[in-house]
């Protein structure tokens, strides 16, 4: 939200993987994210979403060979000058495949793994494990094997592991892409609560535009390494032609408004509803007219 302070700033960031790549994976990225923002990162595969997210925890450029220009400031720290293990205390990461993130025999050990560098006492660790499992709705599963959990539960465990480091920022890279519909809902719900109830800054790369329109306050659209559009969901999804040309979907309620406009049934001047509640209000007018 615009009255809060910037927590992530990309300043003219360009990044090439390796040394001989001609096309950069990120091109002139300028982006400011404020504390408490919920950012939806949209774009086709290869657009640069993952690379941009890896800049936030400093893995790009510190742990990945390449050519980096510009500056990323996260919570007042320049990522180029901050060790990745320091950044890990500020930025929690959740990736698309939960199984690749799990390695331990029990849920409790899985969470403890990340905490080892924090110098917690045993009691503090146990307390933290209980607390983060509670936040993600996995209370009581401390002794269970991570591999016996559903995809949605595994992904919530990944979130719990990230939360154990007490980060201010949660970066999620297509966290629902390997999860069934119920699991997807669970993950979106946890992310939503972390954002709204705990003011955690969330940056989520995700193809589910309806969900992103519902939760995100900032939508960032990437294409071929560049940010081509950013703004509120309402602003971004008013750009029908651009989104279409990029091969991106609009929320269905917005696409519906666009169709109604083309058929001459309703004039919206590009101000399409993007959330269900807005759709009910806007399209409800059609029925009122008829009744009157």
Ligand X SMILES: Nc1ncnc2c1ncn2[C@@H]1O[C@H](COP(=O)(O)OP(=O)(O)O)[C@@H](O)[C@H]1O
How far, in Å, CA of 60 to CA of 54, rounded? Answer: 5
Please give the angle made by the CA atoms of 124, 127 and 108, to the nearest 5 degrees.
100
What, of ligand X, Mg ion, none, does residue 46 touch, CB below 5 to 8 Å by kind?
A: ligand X
Binding mask 49-88 for ligand X (x = CB under 6 A): xxx-------------------------------------
Decide: is 17 part of the binding site for ligand X (CB under 6 A). Answer: yes
Long-range contacts of 157-160 (CB under 8 A, 24+ apart): 157/98, 157/102, 157/107, 157/110, 157/111, 158/94, 158/95, 158/98, 158/101, 158/102, 159/92, 159/94, 159/187, 159/190, 159/191, 159/194, 160/111, 160/132, 160/133, 160/135, 160/136
Window 32-51: residues binding ligand X (CB under 6 A): 43, 45-51
135 or 248, CB closer to Mg ion? 248
Q: Counting contacts by CB under 6 A, is residue 192 touching ligand X?
A: no
SS3 9: strand
50 near Mg ion, rule: CB under 5 A: yes
Q: How far is the CB of 8 from ligand X (least distance, A)?
A: 17
Cβ 66 to ligand X shortest distance, Å: 8
Which partner from the list ligand X, Mg ion, none does 17 bind, CB cut-off 5 to 8 Å by kind? Answer: ligand X
47 binds, among Mg ion, ligand X, none (CB under 5 to 8 A by kind): ligand X
- Closer to Mg ion by Cβ: residue 75 or 206: 206
Nearer to Mg ion, 34 or 49 (CB): 49
> Closest distance between ligand X and the C-beta of residue 50, in Å?
3
Instruction: Show contacts with ligand X in window 91-150 (CB under 6 A).
Output: none
Q: Name the residue number minimizing CB distance to Mg ion.
A: 50
The conformation of residue 175, written as its DSSP 8-state character, comes to T
Contact by Cβ (8 Å): 64, 36: no
E-state strands within the chain: 6-17, 26-34, 38-42, 66-74, 77-78, 91-94, 169-173, 201-205, 218-223, 226-231
Contact residues toward ligand X (CB under 6 A) are 17-18, 25, 43, 45-51
């Amino acid at each position: 939200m615009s009255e809060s302070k910037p927590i992530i700033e990309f300043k003219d960031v360009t990044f090439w993987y390796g040394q001989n790549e001609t096309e950069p994976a990120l091109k002139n990225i300028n982006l400011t994210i404020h504390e408490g923002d919920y950012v939806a990162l949209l774009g086709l595969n290869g657009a640069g979403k993952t690379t941009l997210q890896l800049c936030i925890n400093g893995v790009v450029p510190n742990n990945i060979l390449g050519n980096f220009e510009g500056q990323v400031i996260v919570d007042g720290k320049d990522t180029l000058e901050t060790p990745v293990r320091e950044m890990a205390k500020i930025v929690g990461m959740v990736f698309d495949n939960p199984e690749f993130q799990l390695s331990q025999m029990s849920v409790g050990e899985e969470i403890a793994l990340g905490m080892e560098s924090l110098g917690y006492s045993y009691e503090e660790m146990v307390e933290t494990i209980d607390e983060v499992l509670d936040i993600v709705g996995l209370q009581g599963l401390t002794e269970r094997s991570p591999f016996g959990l559903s995809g949605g539960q595994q992904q919530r465990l990944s979130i719990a592991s990230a939360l154990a480091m007490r980060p201010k920022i949660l970066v999620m890279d297509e966290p629902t892409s390997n999860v069934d519909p119920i699991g997807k809902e669970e993950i979106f719900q946890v992310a939503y609560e972390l954002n709204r109830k705990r003011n955690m800054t969330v940056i989520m790369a995700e193809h589910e535009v309806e969900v992103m329109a519902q939760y995100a306050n900032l939508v960032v659209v990437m294409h071929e390494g560049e940010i081509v559009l950013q703004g509120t969901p309402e602003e971004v999804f008013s750009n029908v032609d651009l989104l279409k040309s990029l091969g991106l979907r609009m929320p269905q309620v917005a696409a519906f408004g666009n169709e109604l406009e083309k058929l001459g049934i309703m004039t919206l001047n590009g101000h399409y509803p993007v959330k269900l509640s807005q759709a009910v209000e806007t399209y409800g007018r059609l029925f009122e007219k008829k009744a009157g």
